[in-house]
Amino acid sequence: MTGSTQGTATDTEPTAAEKRAVVAKRVESGSADLTEISQLAAAAGYDVVGELTQTRTEDAAFMFGKGKVAELRDLVRRTDATAVIVDNDVGPYQTFNIGGELPEGVEVIDRFTLILEIFGQRANTRKAQLQVELAELRYELPRAEAKASLAKRDERPGFMGLGEYDESVERDIKRQISEIRDELESIAEKEEARREQRRDSGFDLVALAGYTNAGKSTLMRRLAAEIDVDENAERHPDLDTTAESQDMLFTTLGTTTRRAEMEKRDVLLTDTVGFIADLPHWLVESFESTLDSVYRADLVLLVVDASEPVEEMREKLVTSHDTLYERNEAPIVTVFNKVDRLAPGELADKRAALSGVAPDPIAVSAKTGAGVAELRDRVEAELPDWERERLVLPLSDDAMSLVSWVHDHGHVEAETYADDQVTLDFEAKPSIVARARSKAAGLAPAEST
């Protein structure tokens, strides 16, 4: 068994407002990496003051070995930590046992509880709040069921200090889950209607997907106009924050949609909450409503941090593809972002190494703007084909209104006037072409003079 501890002593007592955490992780083999859990802790507002790792098989009672828990207790005391954040899926009884060894008042938080805490802090819309609540309930349900099973087996109301079990708790959780699902389904139906409305207006829908900290929000800022197009009264409220470049996990929770102008097409670009490694199925399912904006897009830009090691990029690409291809039918374009951080020749090496999972990626730097013009061209090339159409219209006020409408909903290549007629050559989505034909058929012929 191996392990390590690291701490920083402090001469002052933490104030009530301070959140000081020791992060800890157990792995079966190899060395534990605390980078991501430390980033998550910072995103939740914690100051990471100490680290502890252990390589060994899981201890049923404490997750870590008993001696390592004693080291954890000493580290907490030295650093005046107010919480221990464990980068493992810690069971309720393991949580209770670890907490019993720590100084009074020190909270034990596992990885998924921390993620839910972050989500709760960033949930500023009704939809986001419902999804967080659903995830919390799904997290609590098996724990309530475990209490029920143990209470029945032991024929006593409490177990290991976890409190008295009430059968109505489990029923109430299931009822709340059902009610939240119904409300989220209602919201999803409204959002789908809004997506179809936008398509009917001539917009193509492009979604940004990828892991947290890949630079999606920065890329959106590069591609999109500074105009929010989400007419929903409960749209994501911190739009400006979402569009800024921040080196932090989960800068935003929810979706932000903006209009992005390409050479010929106008697209609506949607940024969503980023993927994160090792999420359990119940947590992904809780945010299925948010992922609908990715699943139902016309094109997905899968953004990857090109400055990460090749193996980490490969793992994230494979996991992202598994998530997206399960339900998504739209083409996926892989975007290697942050190429400004790469040494000469490094990009070519990574392209070659990852050609199997990213056969034709676009390389960009959202920070500097390098490669963004090529990305715009690729977006237009990958979107569903438009139809070409020629309309010959009589000169009239109604015809001019139609000409203006086609300009707004498609790309006009030529517009000529002769003999009391206007000829319009344009490209547009098939649904727009069909509507233009229908409008043209209803126009009265030009009046002779």
3-state SS class at 90: coil
3-state SS class at 75: helix
Band of the pLDDT at 148, cuts 50, 70, 90? low
> Do residues 26 and 51 lie in contact, with contact meaning Cβ atoms separated by under 8 Å?
no
Is 373 annotated as contributing to ligand binding?
A: no
Is 212 annotated as contributing to ligand binding?
A: yes
Is 211 annotated as contributing to ligand binding?
A: yes
Give the position of tokens 């094109």: 299
Is 139 annotated as contributing to ligand binding?
A: no
Is 381 annotated as contributing to ligand binding?
A: no
Give the number of residues written for the chain.
Answer: 449
| Mean pLDDT, the chain, integer | 80
Q: Cβ contacts of residue 376 below 8 Å, gap of 6+? A: 223, 262, 263
Given a cut of 70, is residue 300 above it in pLDDT? yes
Task: Give the tens place of pLDDT for each residue, 210-260.
Answer: 888 888 888 998 988 544 444 333 333 333 333 334 444 444 456 788 888
Is 3 annotated as contributing to ligand binding?
A: no
Q: What are phi and psi of 270, to 5 degrees?
A: -115, 130
Is 271 annotated as contributing to ligand binding?
A: yes
Question: For the chain, what percent of residues have pLDDT higher than 70?
Answer: 78
Is 25 annotated as contributing to ligand binding?
A: no
DSSP structure string for 318-384: HHHHHHHHTT--S-EEEEEE-GGGSPTTHHHHHHHHTTTT-SSPEE--TTT-TTHHHHHHHHHHHSP
Question: For the chain, what percent of residues have pLDDT higher than 90?
Answer: 33
What Å distances lie between residue 348 and 92, 214, 339, 341, CA to CA?
48, 19, 11, 14
More confident residue, 75 or 165: 75
Is 217 annotated as contributing to ligand binding?
A: yes
Is 86 annotated as contributing to ligand binding?
A: no
> Cα–Cα distance between 272 and 257 in angstroms, integer?
9
> Cα–Cα distance between 223 and 230 in angstroms, integer?
17
Is 120 annotated as contributing to ligand binding?
A: no
Is 69 annotated as contributing to ligand binding?
A: no
Is 242 annotated as contributing to ligand binding?
A: no
Is 210 annotated as contributing to ligand binding?
A: yes
- For residue 3, what are its two tokens? 């392990």
Position 213 scores a pLDDT of 82
Is 204 annotated as contributing to ligand binding?
A: no
Is 274 annotated as contributing to ligand binding?
A: yes
> Do residues 440 and 214 lie in contact, with contact meaning Cβ atoms separated by under 8 Å?
no
3-state SS class at 22: strand
C-alpha closest to that of 285 among 95, 93, 141, 86: 141
Is 272 annotated as contributing to ligand binding?
A: yes
Task: Give the tens place of pLDDT for each residue, 269-286.
Answer: 988 767 776 666 666 666
Position 290 scores a pLDDT of 64
What Å distances lie between residue 73 and 79, 87, 99, 111, 170, CA to CA?
10, 17, 9, 19, 33
Strand order in the sheet with 107-110: 2-7, 47-55, 20-27, 83-86, 107-110
Q: Cβ contacts of residue 193 below 8 Å, gap of 6+? A: none
User: Mean pLDDT highest for which of 112-116, 302-306, 319-323?
Assistant: 302-306
What Å distances lie between residue 431 and 294, 295, 387, 402, CA to CA?
22, 21, 9, 15
Task: Give the tens place of pLDDT for each residue, 21-45.
Answer: 999 999 999 999 998 899 889 988 9
Is 241 annotated as contributing to ligand binding?
A: no
3-state SS class at 158: strand
